[in-house]
Amino acid sequence: MDLSRRIPFNTLLPAHELLAGEIRSAADRVLGSGSFILGPELEEFEARFAAYVGVKHAVGVASGTDAIELALRAAGVGPGDEVITVSHTAVATVCAVERAGATPVLVDIDPATYTMDPAHVEAAITPRTAAILPVHLYGQTADMTALEAIARRHKLLLIEDCAQAHGATHRGRKAGSIGKLAAFSFYPTKNLGAYGDAGAVVTDDADLASRLRRLRNYGQEERHLHVEPGINSRLDELQAAILAVKLQHLDEHNDIRRGLATTYRDSISGVTLPVVDERDRHAYHLFVVRHPRRDAMRAWLERRGVGTAVHYPKAVHQQPAYRHLQAWLPVTEKAVEEIVSLPMYVGLAAEDARYVGGLVSEFARR
């Protein structure tokens, strides 16, 4: 064992160095243009991102949280409405539902994929239910085939939270192209990450896209004409230009992540590995394994120079700010006690992934 070896859970520097020249050129172009908000860089990125996802419209906004809120508001979901979602997600998902004025209704997850379990959705539907909001977690899509059928049967909106699933597919369809609307985050650690907060909403519906563009800019229809209440949530020109560069490399970088995932699978034993339907493509935003002695494993790896994280150590309904959301979610509550995220990023060497895998296996044998 090499006690001097250090493998961080994540670092963004290697990926930046790969694209540094292209990104500096894009940034210089924006800085020299004198146009920084709602300009040509945003329009270009929106067009490219919509084409990548396979939809007609993308609307850049200030964050992934805003993207969910604005998607709900654009679709008319608000006070008096319920939105079915999960508690095993970043707090942002539930926060955005409440910011839109709606009530989150939390359902349990599939024990294998950690995404929304369709078997629990139908029982949660009430006359107040307006939308189903599945989260594509860790880079894997939820069971959208089953959820589409439920949404269609009950005439409900299906809105995707794609914050961790850039480039993932479900039965050949890109994440974000399946629901009526979809929300993306471009937080710096995402597979497609900006150099600050950023997000987007995508849709095939021209009317919804038009309303989204109003809502992100104070409800403004044209200059100085505000036709409805909105917010300030605009994806700026600098971030749009950076994202346009990185979008060109997204598939290549996702392939790197999939290669690292294969290395992990080949070198790890004794823990529960990610379960992936062979008909889908996982984007491996995170590589999450499971072990009943998770905390001991993390400490053991840390002493050997390996960083880890937990996504997430508490479900949303267990957080002090959201205890008003009463929910019985045994699968979720068990999972958050056992999951651990291993290092996964562009720039992680296959040799290092193999080393981490060996350490995980060694711990599991103890």
The CA angle 328-333-338, to the nearest 5 degrees, is 165
Q: What is the mean pLDDT of the chain?
A: 97
CB 174 within 8 A of CB 204: no
The model's confidence at residue 133, banded by pLDDT at 50, 70 and 90, is very high
* Pair of tokens at residue 286: 């995170």
Check whether 4 has a pLDDT greater than 80. no
The model's confidence at residue 1, banded by pLDDT at 50, 70 and 90, is low
CB 88 within 8 A of CB 114: yes
Instruction: Give the mean model confidence (pLDDT) for residues 339-364.
Output: 98
Residue 231: HSE in the Cβ half-sphere, 13 Å Cα cutoff: 17
**Tens of pLDDT, residues 206-243:** 999 999 999 999 999 999 999 999 999 999 999 999 99
E strands present in the chain: 57-61, 82-86, 103-107, 129-132, 157-161, 169-170, 173-174, 181-185, 199-203, 220-222, 225-226, 287-290, 339-342
SS3 78: coil
Give the model's pLDDT for residue 326: 87
CB 165 within 8 A of CB 142: no
Check whether 2 has a pLDDT greater than 90. no
Pairing of strands 82-86, 220-222: unpaired
Check whether 108 has a pLDDT greater than 90. yes
28 secondary structure, DSSP code: H
The model's confidence at residue 289, banded by pLDDT at 50, 70 and 90, is very high
**Tens of pLDDT, residues 51-89:** 999 999 999 999 999 999 999 999 999 999 999 999 999
**Tens of pLDDT, residues 330-351:** 999 999 999 999 999 999 999 9
Name residue 135's beta-bridge partners.
161
Instruction: Give the mean model confidence (pLDDT) for residues 29-58.
Output: 98
pTM (predicted TM-score): 0.97
Burial category of 354 from C-beta neighbours within 10 Å (exposed 0-12, middle 13-18, buried 19 and up): middle
Name residue 57's beta-bridge partners.
203
The model's confidence at residue 3, banded by pLDDT at 50, 70 and 90, is low
Please give the full DSSP string across 169-181, using - where no structure is assigned: EETTEETTSSSSE
SS3 241: helix
Check whether 143 has a pLDDT greater than 70. yes
Please give the full DSSP string across 91-137, using - where no structure is assigned: HHHHHHHHHTT-EEEEE-B-TTT-SB-HHHHHHH--TTEEEE--B--
Give the model's pLDDT for residue 82: 98
CB 285 within 8 A of CB 165: yes
Return d(Cα 116, Cα 121) in angstroms, integer: 8
145 secondary structure, DSSP code: H
Domains in the chain (CATH in brackets) are: 15-247 (3.40.640.10), 250-365 (3.90.1150.10)
Phi, psi of 201 (to 5 degrees): -115, 135
Percentage, residues of the chain above pLDDT 70 = 99
